[in-house]
Structures are given as C-alpha cells and as structure tokens.
Amino acid sequence: MIHALNIAHVANSAVAVLHGAEIDALRSLHPSDIAETLEESGCSPSQIVEVLVQIGNHTASDAFGQLNIETQQACLEASNAQTMLRFVENMEPDDRVDLLKAVDEDVREAIMPLIAQAERNDIRRLWKYEEGTAGAVMTTEYAVLPQGITVANALEQMRLQAPNKETIYSIHITDAQRHLLGIVSLRDLIMSKPRATLETIMETRVISVPHDMAEEEVAAIIAKYDLLAVPVLDRENRLLGIITVDDVIDIMEAENTEDFQRISAMVPFEEEYFKRPLPRLFWSRFLWLAVLLFTSLISTTIMEMNSAVIHQMVALAFFIPLVTGTCGNAGTQSATMVVRALALGEIGPGDVFRVFRRELFMGLALGGSLGLMAYFRVFLQDHSMILGWTVGAALLATLLTANLTGALMPLLLKKLNLDPALTAGPFIATVIDAVGITLYFQIAILLMRVIQ
Amino acid sequence: MIHALNIAHVANSAVAVLHGAEIDALRSLHPSDIAETLEESGCSPSQIVEVLVQIGNHTASDAFGQLNIETQQACLEASNAQTMLRFVENMEPDDRVDLLKAVDEDVREAIMPLIAQAERNDIRRLWKYEEGTAGAVMTTEYAVLPQGITVANALEQMRLQAPNKETIYSIHITDAQRHLLGIVSLRDLIMSKPRATLETIMETRVISVPHDMAEEEVAAIIAKYDLLAVPVLDRENRLLGIITVDDVIDIMEAENTEDFQRISAMVPFEEEYFKRPLPRLFWSRFLWLAVLLFTSLISTTIMEMNSAVIHQMVALAFFIPLVTGTCGNAGTQSATMVVRALALGEIGPGDVFRVFRRELFMGLALGGSLGLMAYFRVFLQDHSMILGWTVGAALLATLLTANLTGALMPLLLKKLNLDPALTAGPFIATVIDAVGITLYFQIAILLMRVIQ
C-alpha cells in the first residue's frame, strides 16, 4: 500500500505538469492520500487545482473534499469559478457551506449563480445554522422512504438513491411533511421478508437530536449508543438532515485539541502545527502569558508587603517555590480530573457536594503526608523548628485550598455555561501561587509570634 | 425519550424485586440506558444480575455488554456460572476475552466448560493478543464470502449471516485459506447488477492493519479514511478479524483521557471519576507530587547557595515567582502543542529541526516582549536598574529555554518510544523552575559585577 507520493518538483516548476505515469500513480491513491500528498508538496493553490484537473473524475472531487478548509479556500480564490464548480458541487453539503462562508464575497458571488438551483437552495437552508450546532454539521443527503411500501420495493428504491446519499445504512421513514416516523437499518431491510411493509419493521423509538444541540453533545450521543448516524430534527419533529459517525470523529478530535489548548492557556487553533501563522500564534500565546504575568505580580506584591519577615528570616524565601510548585501541581491534577469527567459526562454540576467531600478528604491526605515530608527535609537541613512548621503547615493549608479550587472551579464554570477546560492548567496554578504565598507568610508570622 | 429510571429502592431491599410495570419500563429503554440506570442505582452486583434476569431476552444481554468491565467482573464473581453463561456467551468476542482475563481464575474455570466449543476456541484464539494491539480489540464476527458467487447469491447469504455478525456493511472476500482478496460494501452490493460476480465488483486495494499495530494507530487510520470497519490481517495476509468504528471511538476517548492524566502528572486511571478507589488514587497522585516536591528542592538548594546575593538584595527574591511562573506557562504551552500535534500525526520525530527553528523564534519573541514588560514593572516600582535588568534578562533567557525544552522533550521521548504526554505539564514546569532560578541568579551576579 503506497500512502504518499513525492511531487515536490511540481512546486518548483512554473506550470504543474505531471507525467502520465505520475498522474496514474496519484489516481491510484485513496482520495485522503491524494489530499495529503498535495498538502505536503508545497504546491501553490493554483498548482493544486491544475493537478486535480489532470487527475479528473470523481477521485479528484473526493480528494478536493479531503483538503483542509484553508487549502480549499485558497484554491477557490486562486482559480476561476468555472474550473472550481465541479469540485464545489461534489462536496458534502455541510463542508460546502463552511467553505462558501470562508471565501471572499466576490469569489462566492462568482460561483453561486453557476451552482444548480436545487443545490443552491440547499446551501441557503444550511447557511442559517449557527457554527458548532447539529444543524451546521449535518448533511442533507440522507436516505428517505415513505412508510407504506414493501421491503422489496424499498430495496429497489435504495438502489436508485444510493449514488447521491452519504449513507444508505440508516433509512429514514417520513410522512409527506417530512415528520420522522421511524428508522430502518439496511441490515434490517436485508433480513426482513420482501413482502413486509416498512411500517411493520421500522424502529419507532428513534434516537434523534434537535438542530440547535451543541456538536459535542451529538458526538457523545453517537458514542454512547454506538450509532452510525443520528437524525437532526426541527421543533416540529421534521427531518432536517443526519450526522454521520465519521463527522463525529472529526468533532471529537477538534474538541480534544481545543481542551488541550485551553488547559495550556492558549486561544484554541484549528490549523495543523506547522500551518499556524506565526504572528497570530504569537498573539494567542502572548496574551495569555501577559495575563498570567500580571496575575503572578500579586505574589510579588504579597512578598513585598512581607519583606520585614523575610529580612528577619531569609531562609523563608527559599521554600516558596516548593510550596507553590507542589500545590500548583495538586490543583492541576484535580482540575484535569474534573474537566475530563465533565467532558465524558461522568459527573455534572449537580455533583458539587460529592466532589467537594471527595477532594476535601484527598487534599487533607495529600497535604498532610507531603507537609510531613517537607517538615523533615527543612528540619534536617536548617535545624529550625519554626521554618519546618511553617513550610509543613503552609503546604497542608495551600494544598487543601488548591485541590478544592482545582476541582470546584470547572464545576462552577460549567454551571455558568462556560467551557470548564478554561480553568484547568496555568490559570489555576497562578492563582494558587498567590494564595499559597499569602498563607505561607500568615502561618510564618503566626508561628513566630507563638514560639517567640 | 426517557433516558434513565430511578430504581434506587432496589438497592435498599434485601432481594431485587421490581414491579411488572418497572420491568416493562426498563425493558423499553435502550441497552446503554439500562446499563447506565443499573450502574447509578447503587445496586449490588448480585442485585444487578437479578434485575437483568427479570428483564430477560436479548435486551438484558445487550445491557450486560454495555456495563463497565469492573461491574461485569463483579457480577460474574457474585453469581453462579450457570446464570451468567447466557450473558457471557452473547458478549462481543473482544469484550468477552477482556472480561475473562479480568475475573478470578476459579470463576473463569467454572464458566469456561459451559461455553460452547466453537466460542471457546474463539476465546483461546483472541487470548494471545497483547493488550492495546489491533488483535486485542478486533471482533471475529465479521461477514465473509467467497469471490466466485453472484451479487444475488451474496445478498441471500448476507441475509443468513446478518444475525451473527457485528456488521454486514463491510463484506470480506477471502479464498479457502482466509487470505483477504478484496472488500465489497453492502452499498456496492445493493447497487450492482444481481448477476455480476463478486470478483468483478470487489475493491482490491483494501486498507487493512496488521494484528500487532497499536490501537491508537488503528483509530487514526479509521479516522483518516472515514471507514466503518478495518480488517485485521496476520503476516500471511490472512483475515483474523475486523475493528469497527464504534470501538475506535471508545479507543479515542480512552486515549485522550490517558493523555490528560499524563499532562497533569498522574498515573492513568480507567475507572470513572467517582468509581476510582480512594487509596489507589491517593498513591497515584502522592507518588507524582512527592517526585515533583523533591525536584523542586533543587530550586531551594540553588537559592540556599545564593543566599549571600539575596541578603545583599532581598527584593531579588520577590520576582522569582514571576520568572518561574511565566516560563513554566510558556513551556507548558509549547509542550502541549507538540504533544497534541504528535498525537494527531501532524509532526513526527523527524521534524526536530523545523520545530526547533519555529520555537526558537517564538521563544525570542515572547521572551523579549514579556521581559520588556517585566523590566518596566520592576523599574517603575523599585527604581532599581539592576533589578529591572536582572528580571527582564532572566525572563528572556528562561522563557527561551522553557519554550525549547517544552517543544523538543516530547519529540525526544517519541524517538525513545515513550509516551510524549509524559513530559508535558508539571514535570516540565518543575524542571524549568530550577533552570529559571539558576539563570536568574547568574544574571543578577553578572549584572551586579558589571554595574558596580
């Protein structure tokens, strides 16, 4: 199995001319592999279009559909509407709308009149759904049949519908107004008696989603019920489209990348690593780091306010990284656990009390044992009881706070309808630094007073 | 659509007796929802088995298959082999082997002789595959046909095979020795002329995976090519089984959870949040935190070694959290980006130089601008040029180091065949703390010498 070809030489020549053998080799690849080859070849958008035109037939259209949306956009903007028409017409309806939304208005206005009337209406219908909802990721190319016909007749109709449908494995039974009555899988159709009618074999307890459901929730439903596709309905139970499992995998990957980026305090990016434009990446990272820098100045201010205590016992300053570092880590642990459990639906905002009890206990156990370890380390080296008790007690108090903050903050955000992943990671760590240093000095001052 | 029932009262009674209406209500749920209801009811394992027996028929078997493996294991160990036989026999082959591997040996020895001979051979065949490989997650219940038959005949055979196969949407064409010759989708079968033979319509350029491929790689292939299932082959190209897209979704979710846990420095857990046993959770968190605590003592030691400098200028200590915190955040950002890009296959270990160049540039830009901000903040408040230059220069140097370490460490681990996610997060942050503090004092000492 060949997975990619090297066609870098195309990128270096003025016109994209490939030998007949090269075109044949490209044509024999899977459309996903053709797309990957083109993306990595370094070809300009217009060269990519030239190669696709030379490949011709359905393979070229499928390969175009597998390109990144940024590359598709560049191709569309670099070539004339007439050349691009075939590629755009053969795209999946939801991807096509995303692309047409992305391109310059004049490019859109050049190609829209060329698109067939029925397709154009489809584009207008899909245009209105908000990004990130079921309506925006669904396809309108679903298999549909009336309920009165027989299984034999249904199989005959599927033979006709198949070429234009994204999947014929879920067949939707609707009335004349497109109200969804039931679903028949192609498997059930194959297994049923040819003379049975669809209404007798269809599954009427259909798992469906409303058009305004968030795409992550749709993904969770498909994952939970092991579905190949789920129908999308409007408020009157009319069938608008379907979402297939391969789209759900893409949604899951995008969603996970977003969570990872949030955890590491970055504005989420959709492009691949090497494709992210450096200036935009700089700002996305700089902004967060600057915010966190100013947050960490709180710690500095607290230390400045306590400079008298530090002058009295400079060694106090030495153990600050130990206390803040360890507690930041513990807070990140509990935050990550809760963010992930929320994402997988294992816990909800209603579980606040159970989470609190669990993390209170865990914070006491971890803080107590790590505090004890720190006490002995300090005492063995510095032979100062005050310093040892200060470090140990501060570690316990801060770790407990950090653990609870880390666990409860995502639940709070979830209740406020914000993304819980926003809290995990550096932000929590920086807040915990400030809390930790404050507690540290308060405990030190208290102990100095008690002992002296 | 009802998604769950409250049957908590069962958990409180000695025997699990449900009213006829309750059983009917349970029976009308989707098996996934029945499993969820049982998991959340607080019922004991033997009560869960009693309820499943009352539900009866295929629904009960399907619901048992949807329970967590820990619950399945507890049920199997709490009930007699005769009762459990039906549930175990109806499980998917790969899940069944996982369960039989998990239970106590005497429980396994009690149930194995009761299982039908053919199934028992199947279990022995699957037993040998290493966990986490394609062989361990594949199912052996795939649709298979010889190449010589006609489409009409094939459809007839599929009608017979369907009840016992996990999917009939991918049909595998093999010779007598089970060598894979090609694949026909049910869709193609429906669309072809009834008298065509399978060899004329089958796709011979099949995307397949070897039995020892890692499950994440299988998931990536299914995601890339939008497949519903992928065949698993041995070294001689013989068909061993198939992996379906719903299993791939589970693999992706598990894989992502693992990465999240690694990023937050925890030993990965498979159980749901509330089901993790507290003692095991404590140790998994404590171990990492203790390691990180000792790592952070390096910072303490460095500060102790530099106590003369701190005595000379106590204010130096105030800005340590700012430098280490900001640089730790930047290191986490670049580490997370690279870990994620590796997981999605966007970059490989061979891209070291490109990543280095990119992150060198980014580190200089971020370190320069944030260092300048820090300089002005320090100078405005403390009116000390030395302190301002020290903080600013230390921030630039440490951020550059942090950014490069964060980006290159995961690539190094990948090359050593370790999980790149191991580096991201707290570990990097703690190492960077030590590096940052060392640079900080070196720069301070240098500047004091130059200026004084």
Identify the band that residue B360 occupies on the pLDDT scale cut at 50, 70 and 90.
very high
**B142-244: what fold?**
CBS-domain (3.10.580)
Identify the band that residue B152 occupies on the pLDDT scale cut at 50, 70 and 90.
very high
Identify the pLDDT of residue A220.
87
Q: Chain A closest CA to B292's CA: distance in Å?
A: 7
Write out pLDDT tens, residues A200-244: 999 998 999 999 998 888 998 998 898 999 999 999 999 999 999
Residues near B412 by beta carbon (within 8 Å), at least 6 away in sequence = none
Chain B residues in contact with A436 (beta carbon < 8 A): none
pLDDT at B345 over 80: no
pLDDT at A181 over 90: yes
Chain A residues in contact with B70 (beta carbon < 8 A): none
Residue A261 to residue B340, Cβ atoms within 8 A: yes
Residue B264 to residue A324, Cβ atoms within 8 A: no
Rounded Cα distance between A317 and A441, Å, is 10
pLDDT at B103 over 60: yes
pLDDT at B134 over 90: yes
Identify the band that residue A269 occupies on the pLDDT scale cut at 50, 70 and 90.
low
Residue A278 to residue B429, Cβ atoms within 8 A: no
Identify the pLDDT of residue A1.
39
* Cα nearest neighbour of A421 on chain B: B260
* Cα nearest neighbour of A433 on chain B: B321
Residue B191 to residue A159, Cβ atoms within 8 A: yes
What is the pTM for the complete model shown? 0.71
Rounded Cα distance between A347 and B273, Å, is 7
ipTM greater than 0.90, yes or no? no
Work out the average pLDDT over B234-251: 92
Write out pLDDT tens, residues A343-398: 777 788 788 898 999 999 999 999 999 999 988 888 887 777 888 888 898 889 98
Domain A8-128 grouped into CATH 3.30.930.10: no
Identify the band that residue B295 occupies on the pLDDT scale cut at 50, 70 and 90.
confident
Percent of chain A past pLDDT 90, that is, above it, reads 28
Work out the average pLDDT over A68-77: 90
Q: Chain B closest CA to A101's CA: distance in Å?
A: 24
Q: Chain A closest CA to B239's CA: distance in Å?
A: 17
Residue A274 to residue B358, Cβ atoms within 8 A: yes
Higher-scoring residue by pLDDT: B109, A13: B109
> Mean pLDDT for chain A?
85
Candidates A224, A300, A311, A387, partner chain B, best to mutate (most B CBs within 10 A): A300
Percent of chain A past pLDDT 70, that is, above it, reads 90
Identify the band that residue B15 occupies on the pLDDT scale cut at 50, 70 and 90.
low
Candidates B36, B187, B188, partner chain A, best to mutate (most A CBs within 10 A): B187
pLDDT at B383 over 80: no
Equal CATH topology for B8-128 and B142-244: no
Work out the average pLDDT over B429-442: 80
Identify the pLDDT of residue A193.
92
pLDDT at A2 over 50: no
Q: Chain B closest CA to A266's CA: distance in Å?
A: 7
Identify the pLDDT of residue B1.
39
Work out the average pLDDT over A47-64: 89
Write out pLDDT tens, residues B194-210: 999 999 999 998 999 99
Identify the pLDDT of residue B17.
61
Residue B336 to residue A191, Cβ atoms within 8 A: no
Identify the pLDDT of residue A6.
61
Identify the pLDDT of residue A363.
92
Could you say which of B326, B425, B437 has the minimum Cβ distance to residue A293?
A: B326
Candidates B153, B309, B340, B357, partner chain A, best to mutate (most A CBs within 10 A): B340
| Lowest model confidence (mean pLDDT) among A29-38, A168-177, B430-439 | B430-439
Could you say which of B246, B289, B325 has the minimum Cβ distance to residue A296?
A: B325
Domains in chain A: boundaries? 8-128, 142-244, 273-451
Identify the band that residue B333 occupies on the pLDDT scale cut at 50, 70 and 90.
confident
Chain B residues in contact with A223 (beta carbon < 8 A): 246, 249-250, 253
User: Which range is most confident: A68-77, B347-356, B430-439?
Assistant: A68-77
**A273-451: what fold?**
Tetracycline Repressor; domain 2 (1.10.357)
